[in-house]
Amino acid sequence: MKTFLNNMINKIGVLTVILFTMSCSSDDFQKLDQRNWQLVWADEFNEAAGTLPNSANWTYDLGNGLNGWGNQELQSYTNNPENVSMDGDGNLVITALRSGTLFTSARIKTQGLFSQKYGRFEARIITPYGPGLWPAFWMLGDNIETVNWPQCGEIDIMELRGQEPNAIAGSLHGPGYSAGNAISKKYVLSNSRFDTDYHLYAVEWDADKIDFFVDGYLYNRIERGDVPGEWVYDNPFFLILNIAVGGNYVGFPTTQTPFPQRMIIDYVRVYQEVK
């Protein structure tokens, strides 16, 4: 019996070694195709403190929009330095402010100044937090003035619900799959929050697919065949950065929502692939 038990123990030990070896040989990192990116546009936000965004790169959406920019948002967008300006430390800061029941913030965009079809689009950002806050780094199709939304397409590189500061989402909005029916996926930090440090948000976009990254990790791939309607991502898109307050996606701010809240942007960079 003792010999039998020893043989069994030895066999179990060998099996354990084999299973351990098999486990160690499995992929514990992402194997992505190597791509050669060439920088074609960037804003590093190195101007003096209090300076507005470079007018050669950015323009503004101002005011309350139509029905709170279509989402019943509460803020009025301004181009005041208290809502959008450099901090003098290499960052652009968008600040959401509260004055009684009124809210102001900023929404800047490259519409009419820069747009691009395909490539890599990235920004290094510290997000704000708090119920009812909605920071975003996103893009709209250049043809929005002629075909309207969502036919123009929308690529949400990063959006965050302030009440969930450990989760961001990357999404596509297009004809037949917009608003609450957007194609979307969350990326969640298990032991941290996006408002406590910089994180790098990016998409890599080509004729067949759009990949969504956080800090170099690919967490969402949407291919041409994945959308239930028309693929509308073969035209140039322009960039947008903003903090919304309230709206359909996040609900109203509460007494627990701290103001002011800031979105700190270290840089925005855009690349084209060189083959």
Please identify every residue annotated as catalytic: 154, 159
CA distance linking residue 242 with residue 240, whole number of Å: 7
| Dihedral pair phi/psi, residue 147, rounded to 5° | -115, -10
Strand partners, 221: 211
Q: d(Cα 66, Cα 84) in Å, to the nearest integer?
A: 22
Structure tokens at 30: 């992402």
N- to C-terminal Cα separation, the chain: 68
CA-to-CA distance for 86 and 109, rounded, in angstroms? 16
Q: How far apart are CA 144 and CA 6, in angstroms?
A: 75
**CA 71 and chain centroid, separation:** 18
What is the C-alpha separation between 139 and 122, in angstroms, rounded?
11
For the record, the structure tokens of 268 come out as: 């925005």
110 close to 31: Cβ distance less than 8 angstroms: no
Q: Are 96 and 75 in contact (CB under 8 A)?
A: yes
Among 99, 98, 240, 217, smallest CA distance to 157 is for 240
Structure tokens at 272: 């084209």
Residues found in the chain: 275
Alpha helices, DSSP H only, in the chain?
Answer: 2-25, 144-147
